[in-house]
Amino acid sequence: MDYARVFAYSFASIYRLYIEKVEKKGRTQADLDTVLFWLTGYNKKTLQQQIDKKSDLETFFAEAPQMNPNVSKITGLICGYRVEDIEDKLMQKIRYMDKLVDEVAKGRKMEKILRK
């Protein structure tokens, strides 16, 4: 897999796709934002700044205020890979985000998604 290409994706474009995905399944942008805030430490204002400046995924995660200390509790398969076994740390963070969005779209309870 060409990680460099993935790392260069614009967060804003992926965020738009995430919104479509969760809304198609009856969830809301607020649900999506809740898991993104939990994962990265961004808030509504700082997330919007990342979108406005069209940050790529590498920058988005590099500038994240604080990755949640419970990310290690995110386990399972995403795109055929176990998220807990992904060696590249940036790719692992991207896959954690994908996994959380999938869980929102599948209708999991928020306290389960947020590993409470």
Tens of pLDDT, residue by residue over 100-111, are 999 999 999 999
Burial (0-12, 13-18, 19+ Cβ within 10 Å), 115 = middle
pLDDT over threshold 90, residue 116: no
Tens of pLDDT, residue by residue over 22-60, are 999 999 999 999 999 999 999 999 999 999 999 999 999
pLDDT over threshold 90, residue 8: yes
pLDDT over threshold 90, residue 2: no
Tens of pLDDT, residue by residue over 64-115, are 999 999 999 999 998 888 999 999 999 999 999 999 999 999 999 999 999 9
* Domain made up of 3-107: CATH architecture: Orthogonal Bundle (1.10)
- The three-state secondary structure class of 78 is strand
| 89-112 burial: b if 16+ Cβ within 10 Å, else e | ebbbbbbbbebbbbbbbeeeeeee
pLDDT for position 1: 64
- Residue spans of the domains in the chain: they are 3-107
Is residue 31 within 8 A of residue 96, CB to CB? The reply is: no
